[in-house]
């Protein structure tokens, strides 16, 4: 996975300062690596999302005013951090987001049992004809 400054510029639809963009991309990759290491190939979308948020609004400003002209940024936060959705996407891309089954029983679990615990001689005659727990 390789994300460069021109990718961030394309993502934002503008020209970017290459040095600043590369720095933010490197920090975004570091944050993503804290969730899954190595990063999956498709993680570049998350890296671009994190870097773009930090590039556009580095101070995480929610509103500002210049004279009689207030501006509110709404739900688009800034700063260099991972959102809950970024973390979930990284985990899903890494293969940890779906339903799964873990077999905790080893393949040799039923071998080597004593004769009274083997159901091979169950004749259906009650206690002495089979297992104690399965008459």
Instruction: Kindly report, residue by residue over 17-64, the tens digit of the pLDDT.
Output: 899 999 999 999 999 999 888 888 889 999 998 998 888 876 666 677
Q: How far apart (Å, rounded) are the C-alpha atoms in residues 6 and 18?
A: 8
Give residue 2's pLDDT.
84
Ramachandran category for residue 74: left, alpha or beta (phi over 0 → left; psi -120 to 50 → alpha): left
Going from N- to C-terminal start, the domains of the chain cover 5-63+75-93
Distance CA 74, CA 96 (A): 32
Predicted confidence band of residue 66 (pLDDT cuts 50, 70, 90) = confident
pTM of the shown model:
0.61
Q: What is the three-class DSSP state of 64? A: strand
């Amino acid at each position: 996975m390789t994300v460069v400054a021109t990718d961030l510029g394309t993502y934002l639809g503008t020209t970017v300062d290459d040095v600043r963009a590369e720095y933010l991309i490197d920090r975004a990759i570091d944050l993503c690596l804290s969730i899954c290491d190595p990063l999956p190939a498709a993680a570049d979308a998350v890296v671009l999302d994190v870097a773009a948020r930090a590039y556009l609004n580095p101070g995480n400003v929610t509103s500002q005013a210049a004279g009689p002209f207030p501006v509110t940024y709404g739900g688009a936060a800034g700063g260099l951090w991972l959102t809950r959705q970024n973390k979930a996407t990284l985990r899903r891309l890494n293969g940890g987001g779906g339903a799964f089954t873990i077999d905790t029983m080893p393949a040799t679990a039923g071998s080597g049992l004593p004769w009274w615990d083997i159901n091979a001689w169950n004749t259906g005659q009650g206690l002495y004809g089979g297992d104690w727990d399965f008459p």
